[in-house]
């Protein structure tokens, strides 16, 4: 694989860009792999990448029923932050955020990481107390966040109405190193490096069954035939329960539609990410000038990627009250993804009742920000049967009542 560089760009410009090679290969599946990762989204590809880079396991297949990055990885709002309250959450999200900072160099692929800063607005006394508590917790955890008053919020976001009649801004939890990245580029960068290590990325290959013998996984049946494996990693977000059912066990998750939308492009207006949890909306501005907006999940289980207009209307109305200047903008496009929600709104990275099967799911509405940390922890779990980052996110916690309650930080604020 050739390295991308300014010299490569100049060379290809001279020959009309006719010499670029494909970013990743598209082989037919082999008969057997040491590890099969189901799901070629960000989490699945990151798992495969760190299996090769950190643990030297390269006889790996990443299989995807559709196209690479066509699920939630390509259907999110690209927010990156690590200002979570509970210690296990802050550890894995801070690992992800720190890996994002050097990811472009690591992958030799520009993922467009933009540490523009992230604000979580406090619009009630209750929120203000909660966010100050999170700042204290973050300081103990080694996560850099701070509390800022309403006037500093206004200086950072001049278009913000801090004197709203219903929800005035009292201050904000501010993470300066939070920000955004380009979702497609993250998936493509990981895929390119996995392919360069000799891993097979197999698209349009749907898993139709999981084969086990004596309580141990031996392979999967797919639309491209049977494939044997030593270990199987299920990393398919909202469809995790479907794959688990094939393997003979159940997962404590619900699948719901989460949608987002963008405005028509405008000149630079807001250069930080702003989240308003009380009114359940958040907004940032893309490099193309579109305002990227999102809210909450549908209130019922479903697998529709369209979502409901109810949330579009409610969230837009709330954000217009908070940002009055956006009231005349037109909506350009809208999309949805299927997210997997646990009861405590924390993820599952765990061994399963079937030996050799591992599951990574339950990221709910905040999976994109966790991709590098999730992949790093999942790879360690698959390779060694244990990962310190994943230890408290096992399935055992639901039987033992050892919940990691992030219902505010993960269930509302993306």
Mean pLDDT in the chain? 93
pLDDT tens by residue, 91-122: 999 999 999 999 999 999 999 999 999 999 99
Provide φ and ψ at 198, rounded to 5°. 95, 5
Range of the domain at 364: 26-109+182-252+344-400
pLDDT(27) > 60: yes
Do residues 171 and 268 both lie within one domain?
yes
pLDDT(134) > 80: yes
286 occurs within a structural domain: yes
With the C-alpha atoms ordered 64, 186, 229, 388, is the resulting torsion angle positive or negative?
negative
- CA distance linking residue 106 with residue 133, whole number of Å: 35
Smallest Cα–Cα separation from 92: which of 347, 384, 345?
347
Do residues 102 and 187 both lie within one domain?
yes
pLDDT(411) > 70: no
**Radius of gyration of the CA atoms of the chain, in A:** 21
Do residues 100 and 212 both lie within one domain?
yes
Residue 409 has a pLDDT of: 55
Provide φ and ψ at 106, rounded to 5°. -60, -45
365 occurs within a structural domain: yes
Do residues 289 and 330 both lie within one domain?
yes
Structure tokens at 109: 């692929």
Please say whether the beta carbons of 45 and 334 come within 8 A.
no
14 occurs within a structural domain: no
Residue 413 has a pLDDT of: 44
Do residues 239 and 105 both lie within one domain?
yes
Do residues 73 and 186 both lie within one domain?
yes
Do residues 335 and 278 both lie within one domain?
yes
Do residues 167 and 264 both lie within one domain?
yes
pLDDT tens by residue, 50-105: 999 999 999 999 999 999 999 899 888 999 999 999 999 999 999 999 999 999 99
Q: If pLDDT is split at 50, 70 and 90, which confidence band does 257 have?
A: confident
pLDDT tens by residue, 284-340: 999 999 999 988 888 788 887 776 778 888 888 888 989 999 999 999 988 888 899
Residue 303 has a pLDDT of: 81
Residue 200 has a pLDDT of: 97
Residue 55 has a pLDDT of: 98
């Amino acid at each position: 694989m050739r390295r991308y560089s300014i010299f490569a760009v100049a060379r290809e410009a001279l020959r009309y860009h006719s010499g670029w090679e494909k970013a990743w290969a598209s082989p037919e599946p082999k008969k057997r792999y040491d590890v099969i990762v189901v799901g070629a989204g960000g989490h699945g590809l990151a798992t495969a990448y760190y299996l090769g880079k950190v643990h030297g396991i390269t006889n790996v297949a990443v299989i995807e029923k559709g196209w690479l990055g066509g699920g939630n990885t390509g259907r999110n709002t690209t927010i990156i932050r690590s200002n979570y309250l509970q210690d296990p959450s802050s550890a894995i999200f801070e690992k992800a955020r720190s890996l994002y900072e050097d990811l472009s160099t690591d992958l030799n692929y520009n993922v467009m990481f933009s540490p523009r800063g992230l604000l979580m607005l406090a619009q009630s006394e209750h929120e203000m107390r909660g966010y100050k508590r999170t700042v204290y917790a973050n300081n103990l955890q080694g996560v850099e966040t701070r509390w800022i008053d309403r006037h500093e919020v206004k200086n950072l976001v001049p278009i913000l109405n801090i004197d709203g009649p219903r929800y005035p801004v009292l201050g904000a939890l501010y993470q300066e190193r939070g920000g955004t990245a380009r979702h497609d580029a993250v998936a493509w960068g990981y895929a390119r490096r996995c392919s360069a290590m000799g891993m097979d990325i197999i698209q349009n290959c749907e898993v139709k069954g999981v084969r086990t013998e004596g309580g141990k996984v031996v392979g999967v049946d797919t639309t491209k035939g049977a494939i044997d494996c030593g270990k199987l990693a299920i990393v398919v977000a909202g469809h995790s329960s479907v794959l688990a059912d094939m393997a003979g066990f159940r997962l404590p998750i619900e699948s719901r539609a989460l949608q987002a939308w963008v405005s028509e492009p405008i000149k630079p207006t807001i250069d930080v990410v702003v989240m308003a949890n009380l009114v359940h909306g958040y907004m940032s501005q893309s490099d193309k000038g579109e305002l990227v907006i999102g809210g909450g999940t549908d209130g019922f289980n479903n697998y529709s990627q369209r979502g409901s207009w109810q949330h579009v209307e409610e969230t837009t109305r709330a954000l217009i009250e908070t940002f009055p200047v956006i009231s005349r903008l037109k909506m350009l496009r809208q999309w949805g993804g299927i997210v997997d929600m646990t009861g405590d709104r924390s993820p599952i990275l765990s061994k399963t009742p079937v030996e050799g099967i591992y599951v990574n799911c339950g990221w709910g509405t905040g999976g994109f920000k966790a991709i590098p940390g999730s992949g790093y922890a999942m790879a360690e779990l698959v390779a060694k049967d244990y990962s310190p980052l994943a230890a408290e996110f096992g399935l055992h916690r639901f039987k033992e009542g050892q919940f990691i309650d992030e219902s505010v930080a993960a269930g509302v604020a993306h």
